[in-house]
Chain A
């Protein structure tokens, strides 16, 4: 795999953003897909993989001690593999479906590793407490740096190993019969349906479902009149903004 080290380093750094540092959302699939796509020379594949992963896993929310799937590894590895497959002549839709499917178990493994590391952090926290109690404040502060270094290494090594495994699995793609590649191609469209479902499951309640129907009907009408996509998104944004204002007003008086 080309750029193996560069992608691993990038994913290692971005993995810090996921929980440990800042959470600026640089570790979200949309950003990761785009960055890995740019790095490997397949920016569109990166955007599309990022969008699909972000959409399907949109409802995964970290609450309490629940660790959601490692979407950074999922999107990063899937983008790298999809780019490689597209370069080898695979249809982009089939390549993306195959690549994401390959990356899911790797992302789950990475999440498990994250859980192990957080158990290890208990020891660091105890050590820090001893240092604080005995007045070694410099060492107390240093724990932060050590743990960040550990997290970076975990991100880097997980990414490197995952990319390598994905690269090997990617070789199986060539062995697939044409029909199966067609199937992966259809599946991509079906996955978009799964993604829309994830968004609906997260957002829509019984009493707000008329808004969904209204939006679909309006977008359909706009599509028949061949109104450009950007205008439709802008329209939805404007309507959403007005609705937010209406509800914000209600919230203050309530």
Chain B
């Protein structure tokens, strides 16, 4: 009996679960040469063990997945799922066609990693995380939390909201990738990631507006005129700093510039009352 006559090997639920759990370690051996190459092979290892019972075949398959790979860690699940399906499909093909499938697998990895990295960076690092961060920051500075009482809820909320999106996309990517194989590329558009980015960016802008008012509200209880004056001064500074950040001056450098401005203000003899900050009672 030739190897081609055997029933094709299939991945079990446990294999897939193992691969999914390993996908959380995708970036562990992030290296400056081939980035996530080890991570990718490490995630697939349990599946390759099932699909390639012969030691040499397994070694060859694992080595094949150690090529350059770099993408967004959460969005990588789409590729991981799809590659698992394609590796499984490869087993159903006669030997001569398997080489072609290997090329297709590589092409999928190379073709998908760039676009999904760009989308993932924009969606998670530049939109969802700042949105969750702004939500938490606004709540912390809203003067509405009484010191010592359940303030831990705010960081917990930050983590919960972010990780619902994070784990949702990881799970969705892995499942849809595995279900659709190489067709997952076409399905990516359906999930409305671009729309979510636009919507959440607007929602974040609203939170920034509220935040700007919050950090100056201490003055409102004292005197309305002073409040307006401080808010105008604050807004002018925000404009100035935004311009500086836009010119690619690092936040760390601006930090020291701001401290310097603070010191100059302190040594300015005419300046009298310090601004009231929402930190009364902080210990």
Interface set of A (CB-CB < 8 Å, partner B): 19-26, 28, 30-31, 33-35, 38, 42-45, 47-48, 50-51, 54-65, 69, 86, 92-93, 97, 100-101, 104, 107-108, 115, 118-119, 121-122, 124-125, 128-129, 132-135, 137, 140-141, 143-144, 147-148, 151, 179-180, 182-204, 208, 211-216, 218-220, 223-224, 228-230, 232-233, 236-237, 239-241, 243-252
Give the residues in chain A near B240, CB-CB below 8 Å.
197
Interface centre among A69, A198, A228, A241 (most CB of B within 10 A): A198
Contact pick for B31, options A28, A118, A135, A230, CB 8 Å: A118
- C-alpha gap A113/B97 in the complex (Å): 47
Contact pick for B256, options A101, A148, A199, CB 8 Å: A101
Complex A-B: 18 CB contacts under 8 Å: A20-B25, A25-B166, A30-B154, A44-B148, A44-B283, A50-B155, A63-B121, A118-B30, A125-B29, A137-B49, A137-B58, A192-B141, A192-B215, A199-B134, A230-B144, A236-B203, A240-B202, A249-B195
Contact pick for B277, options A125, A182, A188, A245, CB 8 Å: A188
- Asked if A124 and B133 sit within 8 Å, CB to CB, the answer is no
Contact pick for B263, options A21, A63, A187, CB 8 Å: A187
A45 to chain B, nearest CB (A): 6
Which residues 86-115 of B have a CB within 8 angstroms of A?
Answer: none
- Asked if B282 and A186 sit within 8 Å, CB to CB, the answer is no
CB 8 Å contact bits of B129-145 with A (1 = contact, 0 = none): 11011111111111111
Give the residues in chain B near A144, CB-CB below 8 Å.
25, 28-29, 38, 42
A90 to chain B, nearest CB (A): 11
Which residues 23-62 of B have a CB within 8 angstroms of A?
Answer: 24-25, 27-35, 37-38, 41-42, 45, 49, 55-56, 58-59, 62
- Asked if B45 and A24 sit within 8 Å, CB to CB, the answer is no
Give the residues in chain B near A47, CB-CB below 8 Å.
140, 145, 151, 154-155
B155 to chain A, nearest CB (A): 4
A-B contact count, CB below 8 Å? Answer: 375
Minimum CB distance partner of B142 in chain A: A229
Give the residues in chain A near B196, CB-CB below 8 Å.
244, 248, 251
Q: Closest 6 CB pairs between A and B?
A: A251-B195, A215-B209, A240-B203, A187-B262, A244-B199, A229-B142
- Asked if A128 and B25 sit within 8 Å, CB to CB, the answer is no
Q: Does B159 belong to the interface (CB within 8 Å)?
A: yes
Give the residues in chain B near A143, CB-CB below 8 Å.
29, 38, 42
Give the residues in chain A near B7, CB-CB below 8 Å.
none
- Asked if B207 and A233 sit within 8 Å, CB to CB, the answer is yes
Give the residues in chain A near B206, CB-CB below 8 Å.
211, 215, 236, 239-240, 243
- C-alpha gap A223/B32 in the complex (Å): 51
Minimum CB distance partner of B195 in chain A: A251
Contact pick for B143, options A100, A229, A244, CB 8 Å: A229
Known A33-B155, A218-B209; further 20 A-B contacts with Cβ < 8 A? A28-B158, A44-B282, A55-B137, A57-B251, A61-B121, A122-B34, A124-B38, A128-B66, A137-B49, A141-B42, A186-B266, A187-B263, A198-B251, A201-B245, A203-B130, A208-B202, A213-B209, A215-B209, A240-B200, A240-B203
